[in-house]
Chain A
Amino acid sequence: MVNTIDQIINVFDEQKIRKNEALISCSGVNVFYSDKQALFDVNLDIKEKEVTSLIGPSGCGKSTFLRCINRMNDVIETCSIEGLVKINGQDIYDPKIDVVELRAKIGMVFQKPNPFPKSVYENVAYGPRLHGMFINKSDMDKKVEESLVRAGLWNEVKDRLQEPGTSLSGGQQQRLCIARAIAVDPEIILMDEPCSSLDPIATAKIEELIDELKVNYTITIVTHSMQQAARVSQKTAFFHLGHLIEVGETENIFRNPINKQTEAYVTGRYG
């Protein structure tokens, strides 16, 4: 219980200090697909409860980098990684790390909505059940509802919970995938071009959702839309040919980038 002004200030300062610390810290990250190097010495810190956009031309390594954060690259046999990726100060490539647990803390949303061939309810309940989070039905019902509310989908599906997830529209399916990701209480949500297959209205709903989610989650998004990066993120990182060229406040990247390559890319001069 906080009582005095001093205590309130201390709590505030602690939160501020915590907010200034990087939640995700990557240093000297190199990634190889067989003998082909896809990322070169990437050093990037991602702050807690901020949205960070990764931009760059196709094949620049931004999705590869995103997949380093939740060890999704592990499933690619030819892929190897060097360097350090820390989350909350913990090396996530430490052999002692439980990858299933790690991925529960880091939700991921893909380019194309990929609901399971199950009901809307089961899509959301699947993760918590897998991780043994809820035993009784009423708790699970609450979790499913809470996740769908947070994903901005509850009002649209509350009467269709038993219908297949695949029967929803593309935009609804993507929000269902976000509900599925947040149902296991992650700290981080990774989004790999989450709006590239959506119409402008569905895209706007996802962007609105990102704005709301950033209060509770740290979000990293790969996007090809410069305007989307400008709208949704506080930080933007520009990748080119596997190198992290520039990272900074989104406003600065789009208003007055330091690096000429960044300027050429964001203004559409890059060939």
Chain B
Amino acid sequence: MSDHIVSSFDEELNEITDGLINMGALVLAALRSVEEILKNDDHNLAQKIIDNDLQINDLGQSIEIKAFNTLASRQPMAFDLRLVFSAVKMSLYLERCGDMCKGISKRILKGDLTEADSPNTIESLVTLTNRVYENLSLVLEDYAARTSEKSLEVWSSDNEIDSIYSDILMEILNNIKSKPEAIEALVPLFFIARYLERVGDQATNIAEVTHFIVTGEVLTDEKEIQIENETTF
């Protein structure tokens, strides 16, 4: 797409887009750290995720202010309007992803993963983390390139994440049944799985937003409702 006649308008839109890409990069880095702390029960890294979340929140706030000012001063239309309007939603979704990573870190700091004695479940959580990471990076790549093919892929494959999540829940439940004495160590795993599944949902939301920015079309959530019903635990 060609540049605006008013070049400062382009600069404002680029600041918003770059801000969101940076925010996404911070969330992806947090997810990579989650993978590490799941593997190594690294409490120092967990604390780092909690500390870094502030940076994600600050970036989100500055994007919202920029979008607000651009709406007021430029009154954008068509693609620009979709981009600015969606920036507010995207920053909220990414901020929530950051919060989920922070939540996982807090759960890990409160206990000791090794006490759960569930290497298979930990492995499944690592798989889920990787899957969520992959989806989030795909939609962010699409957003940066202003394309929507990868977003559509992610949007249609969210049920795979839900399925991994359901399997993990069953696994934890079975562990609780067979080792009731380990319930305190096992319950945090339940929450960690839930947080990761929620990050997956946010990636789907971002996929919807990216598709809307690029095409102007709204993806219906009939499919989502169906998936939700199938996997409600």
Residues of A within 8 A of B (CB): 226-227, 230, 254-257, 262-264, 266-271
Not counting A256-B82, A268-B6, A269-B3, a sample of 13 additional A-B residue pairs whose C-beta atoms are within 8 angstroms of each other reads A256-B78, A256-B215, A257-B78, A262-B78, A264-B2, A266-B78, A267-B4, A267-B79, A268-B4, A268-B9, A268-B80, A270-B5, A271-B5
- What is the interface residue range for chain B against chain A? 10 to 19
- Interface pair B77/A269, CB less than 8 Å apart: no
Quick one: which of B5, B77, B215, B217 has the most chain A CB within 10 A?
Answer: B77
Residues of B within 8 A of A (CB): 1-6, 9, 74-82, 215-217
- A254 contacts across to B, CB distance below 8 A: 77-78, 81
List 30 A–B pairs whose Cβ atoms lie within 8 Å, in order of A's numbering: A226-B75, A227-B75, A230-B77, A254-B77, A254-B78, A254-B81, A255-B216, A256-B78, A256-B216, A256-B217, A262-B78, A263-B78, A266-B77, A266-B78, A267-B4, A267-B77, A267-B78, A267-B79, A267-B80, A268-B4, A268-B5, A268-B6, A268-B9, A268-B74, A268-B77, A268-B80, A269-B2, A269-B3, A269-B5, A270-B5
- B75 contacts across to A, CB distance below 8 A: 226-227
- A268 contacts across to B, CB distance below 8 A: 4-6, 9, 74, 77, 80
- Interface pair B1/A269, CB less than 8 Å apart: yes
- Interface pair B82/A255, CB less than 8 Å apart: yes
- A271 contacts across to B, CB distance below 8 A: 5
- B82 contacts across to A, CB distance below 8 A: 255-256
- Interface pair B216/A269, CB less than 8 Å apart: no
- B79 contacts across to A, CB distance below 8 A: 263, 267
- A263 contacts across to B, CB distance below 8 A: 78-79
Bound-state Cα–Cα, A269 to B1, Å: 9
- Interface pair B3/A267, CB less than 8 Å apart: no
- A256 contacts across to B, CB distance below 8 A: 78, 82, 215-217
Bound-state Cα–Cα, A255 to B216, Å: 7
- B2 contacts across to A, CB distance below 8 A: 264, 269
From residue A263, how far is it (CB to closest CB) to chain B in Å?
Answer: 5
Bound-state Cα–Cα, A263 to B5, Å: 13
Quick one: which of B75, B82, B215 has the most chain A CB within 10 A?
Answer: B75
Bound-state Cα–Cα, A262 to B79, Å: 11
